[in-house]
């Protein structure tokens, strides 16, 4: 879905969590190597925490 011809190069998604702890746990999970990935694959998602009050 991130292919530029589908959504444009500036596309991004935001997901809100009930707490900072849940957000940080989810971010760590996104950043880890996935069990179904090929050997040597590295996640290419950019995960940045966003605070509601910013």
Q: Is the pTM of this model over 0.75?
A: no
In the chain, where are the structural domains located? 1-36
Mean pLDDT of 20-48: 81
C-beta neighbour count of 28 within 10 angstroms: 10
Cα torsion 48, 35, 17, 2: sign: positive
Going by pLDDT thresholds of 50, 70 and 90, the confidence category of residue 32 is: confident
């Amino acid at each position: 879905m991130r292919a530029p011809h589908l959504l444009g190069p500036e596309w991004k998604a935001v997901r809100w969590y009930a707490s900072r702890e849940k957000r940080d746990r989810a971010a760590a999970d996104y950043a880890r190597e996935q069990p179904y990935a090929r050997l040597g694959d590295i996640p290419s998602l950019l995960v940045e925490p966003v605070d509601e009050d910013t």
